[in-house]
Structures are given as structure tokens and as C-alpha cells.
Amino acid sequence: MRFFSLLSSFFILSACASVPIPAASAANPGDVLYQEQFESNTTGWARIANDNGIMDYDGGGYRILVRQPRLNIWSTSEQDFSDVRVEADVIKLNGPDENRMGLICRYQGGDYYFFMISNDGYYVIGKFIGGMTLLLGQSEMQATDAIRTGTMNHLRADCVGNKLTFYINFTEVASATDTDFPSGDVGVVAGAFSEPGVDVLFDNFVVIQP
């Protein structure tokens, strides 16, 4: 097990999309509400580089490089959903296996739910609220064989009512309940523990009506 040590040092590098896409009305289960393949760098996601990190389109995916220790950076799409199923593929490009990468749902003014994995085989569900990180249903990051170390992983986060469910490579690994955020934006997040240089690539980002 690993203690999730960041309590208040999450850092937002930007807010992303410049042209919000309205949520679909009267959507049916399984309908695609929003998707991004990152094949064009003109779809509105952030393109930023500074001393803290990089967020940019790269090679048909979306890259996040974390240049500072004990730091998370994230990017959202300026959508607004309530119940959603968020999925994406993520792979480590460089840096330590002791890292963080994952999905965000119900982002509201800097607060959100997160679903993260590390490349050395750990996962976590939690929320960032009022400048603090709180884990949900666990006190530490937990190990799982569902994570494929050294290769791409498929992540899925279901945010339905007050239930949050995390799937890794099509295997349910954890669920929790919380009522703080009923709706909000979606996005991706990556972070470093004590060693900086976490460098990951997201692709096939999709939001589905659960």
C-alpha cells in the first residue's frame, strides 16, 4: 500500500476548452456525449509549457509532463455533465513508475473527483475539495493486478448519482459513495510523488451516457 501524501498541493495549469460543446439532451444509455481523439491540435485543449510542466497534443494523443515533485496538473474540457461514464487510454512515456495518472469527473471551480493509477500497480479514488485531497473508501493507494505495468492501460470512471466506480482494463477495482459534487466538467490528470519527470500520454477520451 502507498500513502497518498498530497493533501493540498494540487496545481491547476489551465482551464482547457475554448468552445464548450452543449451536453446532449434526452441521451440514452450508451450514447456518446463527448469524445476527443487528440488528432488535431485545434480542438480546444490546453497547449502550455512552463516550469511546472507541459500539457499539449503530441503524436495523436494528449501529453502531460510533470516537472516538479509532489505536484499534480490537470486539464478539463469545459463540459457540464451530471451522470457520466468517462473512459480513456493512458501510457507512461518517461519518468518514474511511482507516478499518478487518471480521470476527472464533476469538476467545479477547482474541486473534483479523481480516479488514478500508478505504473507500479496502485490505484485510488478520491476528491479534491477546498484545497485538500480526501480519499474515498480507502486510506492509502491500493495494489491491483488489473494494472498493466509498462504498457497502456484503459481507464473508466463511472460517476452516477452518489456512486463512483473505477474500472481498470475493464475490471472493476473499487467503488465509493459521495454527495459533494452532483455535476461538473470532465478531464485528465497526472502527478508526481517525490521524483519529478512523470510523462504520460492520454488518448481515446470519451464521455458516455451511463
Domain regions of the chain by residue span: 40-208
Contacts of 8 (CB under 8 A, 6+ apart): 131, 132, 133
Q: What is the dihedral of CA 71, 7, 10, 58, to 10 degrees?
A: 50
Asked if pLDDT for residue 5 goes beyond 50, the answer is no
Looking at 2.90.10.10, 3.40.190.10, 3.10.129.10, 2.60.120.560, the CATH number of the domain 40-208 comes to 2.60.120.560
Residue with grid cell 486539464, as numbered in its chain:
75
Q: Who wins on pLDDT, 2 or 67?
A: 67
Task: Supply the DSSP symbol for 44.
Answer: S
- Spatial distance between the Cα atoms of 181 and 108, rounded to a whole number of angstroms: 8
Beta-carbon count within 10 A of 138 CB? 15
Asked if pLDDT for residue 23 goes beyond 60, the answer is no
C-alpha cell at 4: 497518498
Q: Give the residue-averaged pLDDT of 126-138.
A: 94
Q: Who wins on pLDDT, 194 or 27?
A: 194
Structure pTM? 0.90
17 pLDDT band, cuts 50/70/90, is very low
- Spatial distance between the Cα atoms of 193 and 5, rounded to a whole number of angstroms: 8
Strands 111-117 and 53-58: unpaired
Asked if pLDDT for residue 203 goes beyond 50, the answer is yes
Asked if pLDDT for residue 15 goes beyond 90, the answer is no
150 pLDDT band, cuts 50/70/90, is confident
Asked if pLDDT for residue 8 goes beyond 50, the answer is no
Phi, psi of 132 (to 5 degrees): -130, 150
C-alpha cell at 58: 503530441
Q: Give the residue-averaged pLDDT of 97-117.
A: 97
CA-wise closest residue to 73 among 190, 185, 153 = 190
pLDDT one-digit tens code per residue, 31-81 = 999 999 999 998 888 899 999 999 999 999 999 999 999 999 999 998 999
